[in-house]
C-alpha cells in the first residue's frame, strides 16, 4: 500500500473510530487485512495508531482530573504482561490464526457498542466543590458532574484483572488497543463512572501499546515510513473526531460503528 493511501486510511479510521469512542486501530487493522496486508505486518501499524491516538488525547484527559492512575497502573500489571508475551509470540503465529483473532476482536468490539451504560452512583453533598480526582493510596475517587460530586470505588478487582489479561493478549496479537474491552469492563464490572473509565482506559491502552511496540521494534517488525503515515493520520483523525464528536448524536454513531465492525468481522471470517 502506498504512503498517501495509508495516510488517508489512517485518517479516515481514526476520525470515525474517535467519533464512535473506539479509537482508530480497531477499524484500521481489519481494513488493512481486508485490503491484503499480512496480519503480522498490520499489527504494529495498529499499535502506532493506538499510541498516537492515546497520546493526542492524554493532556486534556489528565488536566480534567478524570484519569485514575492507580487503577490504570494496577490493571496494566496483567494487561502489559500478557501483551508482551502475545507480541513476542505473534511473529510465530500464522497469518490465518491472527486473522481469526482479529475477526473475533472486531465482532466483540461491535457487540460492545450495543451495551447500555450502567446505572451510576449518586452525588454526595459533603463533597460539593471538590474537583474530579483520584484519592491517594486507594482505588477510590470522585467525579464532578452537573448534578454534584459523585464518589466511586473500583470493585471486583480480581475479575477485572482477568479480563485485562485477555485485553492484553488481544493487543499483543492483533495490534488493536482493546479499549472496547477495557472501558466497558471498568464501567459495567468495576462500577467506574463512564468518563473516568474512558480516560483511564486511554491511559492504560497507551502503556500496553507502547510496550508491545517496543517488543515489535526490537524484533525489527516496524516499517518507519508506514509508521509515520499511520501516526500522522491517527493524530489528525483523533483531533478531527474529537472536534466534531459533540455535534453528532453519539448513540447513533456508536451503533453505526458497531454494525460496521460486525460486517468487517464477518468478511474476515469468510476470507479464512
Partner 1 sequence: MSEFAPPLGSSEPDPEVNRHPLIGRQRYLVSFLQFGAVLAFVLAIGGVLLPAPANEIASYAMVTTLIAVPIIRVLWLFLRWVRRGDRLFAMVAAGLLTVIVIGALAAII
DSSP 96-115: HHHHHHHHHHHHHHHHHTTP
Q: Mark the segment that binds partner 1 (CB under 8 A) among 57-65, 182-190, 192-200, 255-263.
A: 57-65
Q: Mark the segment that binds partner 1 (CB under 8 A) among 55-63, 155-163, 188-196, 242-250.
A: 55-63
Using CA atoms, how far apart are residues 212 and 214, in angstroms rounded to an integer?
5
Q: Which of 213, 260, 262, 268 binds partner 1 (CB under 8 A)?
A: 213
Q: Which of 35, 94, 131, 243 binds partner 1 (CB under 8 A)?
A: 131
Using CA atoms, how far apart are residues 237 and 80, in angstroms rounded to an integer?
26
- Does 252 bind partner 1 (CB under 8 A)? Our answer is no
3-state secondary structure at position 141: strand
Using CA atoms, how far apart are residues 18 and 202, in angstroms rounded to an integer?
12
198 with 21: CB under 8 angstroms?
Answer: yes
- Does 63 bind partner 1 (CB under 8 A)? Our answer is yes
**41 versus 133: smaller Cβ distance to partner 1:** 133
For 64-94, where are the alpha helices, taking DSSP H only? 69-90
3-state secondary structure at position 65: coil
Q: Which of 19, 43, 51, 169 binds partner 1 (CB under 8 A)?
A: 51
Closest approach of partner 1 to the CB of residue 265, in Å = 27
- Does 258 bind partner 1 (CB under 8 A)? Our answer is no
Residue 217 CB partners (closer than 8 Å, separation 6+): none
Task: Tell me how many residues contact partner 1 (CB under 8 A).
Answer: 51
Closest approach of partner 1 to the CB of residue 141, in Å = 11
**48 versus 262: smaller Cβ distance to partner 1:** 48
Sheet (strand 140-145) strand order: 133-134, 140-145, 148-153
Closest approach of partner 1 to the CB of residue 65, in Å = 7
* Residues in 148-207 that interact with partner 1 by CB under 8 A: 203, 206-207
- Does 136 bind partner 1 (CB under 8 A)? Our answer is yes
80 with 50: CB under 8 angstroms?
Answer: no
172 with 82: CB under 8 angstroms?
Answer: yes
Query: Is the Cα dihedral 234, 249, 171, 118 positive or negative?
Result: positive
- Does 227 bind partner 1 (CB under 8 A)? Our answer is yes
3-state secondary structure at position 150: strand
Residues that bind partner 1 (CB under 8 A): 3, 7, 48, 51-52, 54-56, 58-59, 62-63, 65, 69-70, 73-74, 76-77, 80-81, 84, 87-88, 129-131, 133, 136-137, 203, 206-207, 209-211, 213-215, 217-219, 222, 224-225, 227-229, 231-232, 235
Amino acid at each position: 500500500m502506498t504512503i498517501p493511501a495509508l495516510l488517508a486510511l489512517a485518517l479516515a479510521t481514526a476520525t470515525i473510530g474517535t467519533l464512535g469512542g473506539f479509537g482508530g486501530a480497531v477499524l484500521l487493522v481489519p481494513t488493512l487485512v481486508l485490503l491484503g496486508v499480512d496480519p503480522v505486518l498490520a499489527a504494529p501499524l495498529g499499535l502506532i495508531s493506538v499510541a498516537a491516538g492515546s497520546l493526542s488525547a492524554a493532556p486534556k484527559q489528565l488536566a480534567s482530573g478524570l484519569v485514575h492512575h492507580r487503577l490504570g497502573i494496577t490493571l496494566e500489571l496483567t494487561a502489559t504482561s500478557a501483551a508482551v508475551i502475545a507480541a513476542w509470540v505473534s511473529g510465530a503465529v500464522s497469518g490465518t490464526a491472527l486473522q481469526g483473532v482479529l475477526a473475533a476482536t472486531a465482532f466483540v468490539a461491535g457487540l460492545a457498542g450495543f451495551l447500555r451504560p450502567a446505572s451510576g452512583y449518586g452525588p454526595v453533598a459533603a463533597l460539593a466543590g471538590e474537583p474530579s480526582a483520584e484519592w491517594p493510596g486507594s482505588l477510590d475517587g470522585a467525579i464532578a458532574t452537573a448534578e454534584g460530586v459523585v464518589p466511586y470505588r473500583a470493585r471486583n478487582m480480581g475479575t477485572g484483572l482477568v479480563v485485562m489479561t485477555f485485553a492484553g493478549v488481544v493487543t499483543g496479537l492483533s495490534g488493536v488497543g482493546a479499549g472496547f474491552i477495557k472501558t466497558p469492563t471498568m464501567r459495567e464490572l468495576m462500577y467506574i463512572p463512564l468518563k473516568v473509565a474512558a480516560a483511564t482506559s486511554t491511559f492504560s491502552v497507551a502503556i500496553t501499546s507502547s510496550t508491545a511496540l517496543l517488543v515489535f521494534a526490537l524484533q525489527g517488525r516496524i516499517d518507519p515510513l508506514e509508521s509515520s503515515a499511520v501516526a500522522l493520520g491517527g493524530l489528525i483523525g483523533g483531533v478531527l473526531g474529537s472536534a466534531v464528536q459533540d455535534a453528532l448524536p453519539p448513540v447513533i454513531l456508536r451503533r453505526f460503528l458497531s454494525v460496521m465492525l460486525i460486517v468487517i468481522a464477518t468478511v474476515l471470517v469468510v476470507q479464512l
